[in-house]
Structure 1
Amino acid sequence: MIERIAEFCIRRRAWVVGGLFSLTLILSWFALHIEVRTVFEDMLPSHHEYVQTHEKFKDTFGGSNLVTIMFEVEQGDIFQTAVLDKVRTVTLGLREVSAVNQYQIVSLASRKLKEVRASTAGIESRPLMWPDLPADAKAMAELKQSVLRNPLVYGPYVSKDLQATLVTVDFIDQQVDYATVFEEIRSLIGKVDDGSVKIRVVGDPILYGWVSHYLPETLQLVLAALAVTLVMLFILLRTWRGVSLPLLAGAVSAIWALGICRLLNIHFEPLVIVVAMLITSRAVSHSVQIVNRYDDELELLPVDGDTSRIAARVALADLFRPGMLGVIADAACMAVVALSPIPMLQKLTVLSVVWVSTLTVSAVILTPVLLSFIRYPHGTAHPINCQPAMRKVLDFCVWISLSRARFLVLGGSLLVVVAAAFYSLNLKIGDANPGSPILWPESPYNRDSAAINARFEGVDRMFVVLGDDNRPGLIKGNEALQAMNSFQRFIEAQPEVGGSLSIADVLPQVNSSLREGNPRYLELADGEGVNGSLMAMLDSVSEPGDISRFADDQYANGSVTLMFRDRQGETIRTAVARIKEFIAGHPLQEGHWQLAGGLVGVMAAVNEIILSSQIEAIALALLVLAVLCTLVYRSSMAGLVFMVPVIISNMLTFAFMTWKGIGMNINTVPVAALGIGLGVDYAFYIADRIKEEIAAGSTPERAIQQSLHSAGMGVIVTASVLILATLLWWLSSLRFQAEMGLLMAIWLSVSAFSALFVMPSLIYVFRPRFIFGDLHRMPAAGQSLPSSQLA
């Protein structure tokens, strides 16, 4: 069947090329119109308990797209007209930012921060600094004292040293466009930033806005990587076909993938450009293998009009099976990620599977067909010849595989894998370091985040809900208020939780105000009747939306908002475990607790999904790989043999992630899944060439030598070129891309080592039947099979 496919493609080459390029032109139009953006809702596992709580209450208690802006002075305090005017200008300007939630803008200059006072005229609640700035020094001093008296402001919104204040704003998840919000907020801050006040800004819209901000740099790195690939291929292969055809294969696969995904209405996530480069590297690798095999065949054929066509047909026929198996293995291993309930991973899976599948067209078929058109294929384009040096490396590989050193390679590989596996048990799920792992520690965003966390209770938030939809007024009850208060004291014992806020913090202010500000009464009352009265008084002087941060309109559900100083996976897991411990140890007679909303609540859900599914996903990907190899080679042993390089590359890569503190999160999971297929691609070419030589009558020694000098040459070329190209990503301003580039380089290095040293040694030692056939009919070293047994 493979021979017929190869014969048809070469015989009808004009129609094949014409059809493929026509489709490429059509799809290129769609590829140019694909959306490049981050959609927050795609990151949420919608069926998870925490996400359902988040979706239900985010409009009331705050979503996960909160942006925090800090105004910080170096001398004096913030109670200066010039400083507060900047706060007021930004607060008012935020109303005009795209997708802003008007009811979630909170600052000294908003109506949300109020002071409750009691007088002979009754209870009154008035904004601290709205609508105007303090008119004189006396009014400024009065504002300062009002802040100092209010623990809901002094600490949460004004720093303890009075040198900084916060503005917080939330956005509507369905409407937010991170790049737009990022630019509009930076523009707004730029209008008031004269250098006299340090202004810092953090939040997911800002974080992913930085990703979009660095998109031009990312595209420059892509072009630089392509340039390095072009130069290296030209130097090593010495032919224009060795440069142009692999790059053409990568370009065609990219156009097809992006065009098809645009037709499927799937957008392109900026961070997954690393995955895109990884897949494109596979296109280059497959194409180089075919070009290299084509060149090998040219040396065996006489120069005539059919030389190029025959060499191309042989290359297509002989490499069709390992090439297709590599493509299918990559696609199948990536498809496992689709089992995750996270839409972003599911869409990325579709993009990746489509992209990988296009390699069938762009590399496995198009490259040999185009090679068949070359009229005078002999000769080189420059005098630099690296072939002798690479052959010496391959001679060393042959010597290792056929000498007793092979046992040292196999034994050493086993020890290294076992050690790496045990070390990888410490791999973190979720973010492994403070700040955002997407950006470098010294980036403006991470510096701003550290500065805000140092002065305030914490940038990242989680809300936990207590209530019952069927019990209006439940939050006014003494049991609910006391439960909230006890819960806050319990959870604040965790060092990473900087503080908490609930309606149970507001009522003590009313209680103290009724008693002329006596701090002895700055607590909840003992009796339910008193607390209910305090709640009624607060409600009577509140405007619509004032209580929305703490309870819903019916007082059926109330929130406890927790402020976190970091979003590390361990911090989040500890907090969730402590919350569940408190709930289990303090049962309620009325109402129930619901976990968990806000950014940290959503991240807790994502981390739990990854933690519960990662081991299963890896195991399933390995199983898929084993089944594919078993079906293709009709041997269960094939599945076991080809899992060896996969296990080696993945264990060493996971060990590296553990060592460098790279957590397994929503961004790194796709790279890890694709790496399972990546770890075995090179091994397919080596093993299949050994099988081909054995079938042609070669001895095991001769087969291994031929395989390494033919397919092995392609492995050395592609691995060295792609390793150098991917290392360029270390120059990226995005830490995630830099680390994933280094991770790809390690994967490629280990995969190449496994293919050149481990696989030939393993095959030579164990002589699997799917490669060598009937073991009883194998000749001794130096002998060939009789012609009667070459069927």
Structure 2
Amino acid sequence: MNTKQAPLIENTFFNFRPIWLAFFLALTIFLGFQAVQVKPEASFEKLIPLSHPYIENFMDRQDDLRGLGNAVRIVVAAKQKDADIFSAEYMQRLQDVYEEVRYLEGVDQSAVRSLWDPAVRWTQVTEEGFEGGTVIPDTYDGSAASLEELRENLLKSGQVGIMIANDFRSTIVVAPLLEMVDGEPLDYQAFSAALEEVRDQFSDSDFDVRIIGFAKLIGDLIDGATQVGFFFLIALAITFVLLFLYSRCIKSALISLLCSVVAVTWQLGLLNLLGYGLDPYSMLVPFLVFAIAVSHGVQVINAMAIEASFGHDRITAARLAFRGLYIAGILALVSDAIGFMTLLFIDIQVIQELAVAASLGVAVIILTNLILLPLLMSYLGVSLTSIMRAKNKRLEHSPVWHRLSFFTHAKAAPWSLAAALLLGVFGFVASADLKIGDLDKGAPELRPDSRYNLDNAYVTDNYATSADVLVVMVETPEQGCVAYEALEAVDRLEWQMQNVAGVQGTLSPAYITKRVIAGFNEGNLKWETLARNQFVLNQAMSNLPAGMINNQCDLLPVILYLEDHKANTLVRVTKAVEDFAAENNSEAAQFMLAAGSAGIEAATNEEIARAQTFMLIFVYAVVASLVFITFRSWRAVVCIVAPLGLTSVLCQALMAQLGIGVKVATLPVIALGVGIGVDYGIYIYSRLRQYLGEGKSLQDAYYHTLRSTGKAVSFTGLTLAIGVGTWVFSPIKFQADMGILLTFMFLWNMIGALWLLPAFAHFLLKNPSKA
């Protein structure tokens, strides 16, 4: 073989193989050391769109809204059927939990609330005026008399249904969290583990501890997502078996797997060097990198076996395999990387970090599976069994591939495109029901029967106020929160929101002020209204509980308790608030969204809705541009990209029918599916164009393409689908959802490349010179 005529890039690597292998080994050791230091991480702020107006408003006012942002709620419940909270044993258990939670690292100690907190008070109206005090009096000693006094205080506190269960069998400890602890981000995994220790310590046959909140959810997600390592091992075993059955060569199967694992190692090492960790959403990326690496490794192994079947020695076969694949492979991987980078346009940090992780992963595959793999195989070669099998397959007629080659025929191609069109129309109609955001109650990232969702259901069933809270922030001039105009506007908003479907209840300073004014007038309900007399308002507002008024008196929070956080509910409620604000904003009161868990989720949904279409258009534009630049043909763009479009439409239809909403966990699937799927079309079109250039007819060219590259593409599609299909059994529901969607996209992208690409080629590539 005349190496002088070989491409420069080929000689650069193959003429200096020992040097490159030594470099790759050193790089693997260094990045492997970095990879083992990657730790799971999560952040409340990473999951929210920080530049969204809702979030900007909340961040500006978060110090005035402590407890309405990132907080956990710990429920202490009496287990026995005839038990309630009015026992010395229960109150002691509650106090122990309260004290334990207060001193957990990451908890804002001064803002923790429970019945034992002095800020939780009761108030009543008597003939002599107002009386009040702490819910648990200073004289409490656990006796029957003090427990009876406690009962009376609770009934007068207004906390029944809020901090106290409707059936008086449990109470809640609310613990707001700090985002930074000693200059470092809060470790959610460690904090969740600490909460579990609290649960284990204080739960027994008489009492039960239930925990909900973002920190607990993220902790459960990290614990569950770490099981992705188990699925990775399963995928590794499945892939090895399938690779061996495909190549009949243990060396080829092992080296292909080794290079794919090296790609994952390099990716994780680079992430650590760049200061990134792995959050619950990006923990799946290493598996995707492994899957993509295997798909390109299969192409190399397949090409090398074919070249060896012509009698070439190991190094020549490796060179020819590299020469025939490096352009298509680099194009496919660059398309993948740039496609993933389009996720950077979504202003949610966790998605942006996923984009960086995925892009780094596919970038290193260029080195590990397109360069390192052929270099290693140039020394080891493929087995004689594999060579003979490839030679027999090459010489014998293949009835399966011969039948599939008829997709290029004039009788089959129009029907294929007609069927694709019908599927596209069906998918478009079916995807009309696709929703943005969550479609289930509780935490849809977890299984309905998960501990977290069972705890959340308990709170929803036993408390009048749900955990889905949306806070409208009403800004006033400084010291203007006591003005009648501001309070009257808040009162009208509250009344209007009480009549919006999905709003379970409301609470505002205006409501409390009216109750206090009625109390000043012997509790007469006729006086339960806002007085125009400023002195009366001032006196009434002085009785507001902590958290309902700030020091500058320029903020009035209106708390809306929602029935759920489903996408439709959030859209309906936020639109009602925005419509009210548009009509009623004034110098005295400016209505702004939004704080609270539901407010943050509403902002996230809006960001995803804004970015979804743009991201999809952009990723297709990037992929189409790269294909056009490489092949210099718009026909190539149609043949390769059009089948991907059908897959995307059908995937959205599948999401709509399965009740999977577009959210932080599922949005990246669209870009990932397109990025990975384009590989199939690029390899097939590249080989098809090569055979057309040799003068073969379109059907013969496609037949030979299928016998070589098509075989590898079909094997890769099935292998990847089986690998991600194991995710369906994950305890993390969003991982199971991603498994379903990626399995579908892997299979349909494969089918599209094998079925639709030749149909388009029939109409566009009849003249080989146009390929």
Q: TM-score, normalised by structure 1?
A: 0.91
- Label 1:268 to 1:116 Cα distance change in 2 as closer, same or farther (>3 A): same
Q: Of the candidates 41, 51, 68, which is equivalent to residue 73 of structure 2?
A: 68
**Aligned equivalent of 1:98:** 105
Deviates more, 1:392-401 or 1:251-260: 392-401
> Which residue of the other structure, out of 388, 400, 413, is the alignment partner of 1:406?
413
Q: Which among 181, 184, 192 is matched to residue 191 of structure 2?
A: 181
User: Is the aligned partner of 1:773 residue 2:769?
Assistant: yes
Say if 1:649 and 1:679, in contact at 8 Å, map to a contact too: no
**Counterpart of 2:442?**
435
1:577 has 2:568 as partner? no
Quick check: 1:109–1:131 contact (8 Å CA) kept in 2? Answer: no
Aligned to 2:237: 227
Structure 1 residues 168 and 686: alpha-carbon distance in aligned structure 2, compared to 1, 3 A threshold: same
Residue of structure 2 in register with 1:529 after alignment: 535
| Residue aligning to 1:426 | 433
Partner of residue 727, structure 1: 725
> Which amino acid in the other structure matches residue 199 of structure 1?
V
Indicate the SS of the match to 1:94. helix
1:467 maps to a residue whose letter is: E
- What SS is found at the alignment partner of 1:332? helix
Q: Tell me the SS of whatever aligns to 2:281.
A: helix
Contact 2:282 2:357 in 1 (8 A): no
Cα distance in 2 for partners of 1:484, 1:528 equals: 16
Q: Could you say if the C-alpha distance between residues 573 and 226 of structure 1 is closer, same or farther in structure 2, counting changes exceeding 3 Å?
A: same
After superposition, the Cα gap between the structure-2 partners of 1:766 and 1:563, relative to the gap in structure 1 and judged at 3 Å, is: same
1:381 Cα shift?
11
What is residue 117 of structure 2 aligned with on the other side? Answer: 110
Per mean C-alpha deviation after superposition, the further-off stretch among 549-558 and 5-14 is 5-14
| Matched residue type, 1:99 | G
CA distance in 1, matches of 2:420, 2:121: 66
Aligned partners of 1:120, 1:425: CA distance in 2, in Å? 63
**Shift in Å at residue 197 of structure 1?**
3.2
Cα distance between partner residues in 2 of 1:664 and 1:367: 38
- AA matched with 2:55: V
CA, structure 1 residues 198+492, in 2 after alignment: closer, same or farther (shift >3 Å)?
A: farther
Cα distance change, pair 693–530 in 1 and its aligned pair in 2 (3 A): same
- The 8 Å contact of residues 103 and 109 in structure 2, kept in 1 or not, is answered as no
Please say if residues 238 and 381 of structure 1, whose CA atoms lie closer than 8 Å, have aligned partners that are also in contact. no
SS at match of 1:436: coil
Q: Deviations over 1:306-353 (max 9, x none)?
A: x11111111111111211111011111111111122222222222211
Q: Which residue of 1 aligns with 2:467?
A: 459
Residue number in structure 2 paired with 1:488: 494
Partner residue in 2 for 1:241: 251
Match of 1:510 in 2: 516
Look up the match of 1:146.
Answer: 153
Amino acid across the alignment from 2:582:
A
Aligned-pair identity (%): 25
Q: How does 1:661-700 map to 2 (within 5 A)?
A: 661-700=659-698
Cα offsets for 1:56-110 (capped at 9, x unmatched): 2222213432212223444353222222322222112111111111233222222
| Alignment match, 1:55 | 59
Hey, what's the Cα distance between the residues in 2 that align with 1:390 and 1:358? 38
Q: Deviations over 1:31-52 (max 9, x none)?
A: 1112321122222322221111
Q: Alignment partner for residue 716 of structure 1, among 709, 714, 717?
A: 714
Match of 1:614 among 597, 612, 615: 612
Partner of 2:200: 190
Report the 3-state secondary structure (helix = DSSP H, G, I; strand = E; otherwise coil) of the residue aligned with 1:201: strand
State how far apart, in whole Å, the 2-side matches of 1:282 and 1:334 are.
Answer: 13
Cross-structure match for 1:779: none
Structure 2: which amino acid aligns with 1:255?
T
AA aligned opposite 2:642: V
- In the alignment, the residues of structure 1 paired with residue 209 and residue 597 of structure 2 have an alpha-carbon distance, to the nearest angstrom, of 22
| Aligned with residue 94 of structure 2, among 87, 100, 120 | 87
Give the AA of the match of 1:237.
S
Q: For residue 395 of structure 1, what is the amino acid of its counterpart?
A: H
- Give SS of 1:26's match: helix
Do 2:680 and 2:749's aligned partners in 1 also have CA atoms closer than 8 Å? yes
Q: 1:50 touches 1:605 (CA, 8 Å); kept in 2? A: yes
Question: Where in structure 2 are the equivalents of 1:326-337 lying within 5 Å?
Answer: 326-337=332-343
Q: Which residue of 1 aligns with 2:162?
A: 156
Mind listing any 5+ residue stretches in structure 1 that lack a counterpart? Answer: 540-545, 776-791
CA distance in 2, matches of 1:279, 1:708: 25
Instruction: Note the C-alpha offset of 1:282.
Output: 0.8
In structure 2, the CA distance between the partners of 1:97 and 1:453, relative to structure 1 (3 Å rule), is same
| CA-CA distance at 1:3 after TM superposition | 2.5
> What RMSD in Å do the two structures reach over aligned CA positions?
2.6
Q: Which string of whole-angstrom CA distances, capped at 9 and with x for unpartnered residues, describes residues 536-560 of structure 1?
A: 4x27xxxxxx52x112112111211
> What code does the residue aligned with 2:566 have?
Q
1:640 is matched with which residue? Answer: 638
Contact 2:342 2:618 in 1 (8 A): yes
Which letter maps to 1:651?
A: V
Deviates more, 1:316-325 or 1:692-701: 692-701
- C-alpha change, 1:460 and 1:132, in structure 2 (3 Å) is farther
Counterpart contact for 1:687–1:760, Cα < 8 Å: no
**What is the Cα deviation at residue 509 of structure 1?**
4.2
C-alpha deviation, 1:143, in angstroms: 2.2
Say whether residues 1:364 and 2:370 are aligned partners: yes
The 2-side partners of 1:677 and 1:16 are apart by 29
Q: Give aligned pairs, total.
A: 758
- Shift, 1:295, TM fit: 0.7
Q: 2:659 is aligned with what amino acid?
A: G
Check whether the contact 1:458–1:497 (CA below 8 A) recurs between aligned residues: no
Letter in 1 for 2:73: T
Cα contact 2:508–2:548 (8 A) shared by 1: yes
Q: Distance in 1 between matches of 2:390 and 2:155?
A: 76
CA contact (8 A) 1:650 1:679 kept: no
Structure 1 residue 121, shift from structure 2 partner: 8.0
Q: Alignment partner for residue 651 of structure 1, among 635, 649, 652?
A: 649
CA offsets, 1:451-480, max 9 Å, x none?
211222211222211123xx2221111122
Relative to the length of structure 2, the TM-score reads: 0.93
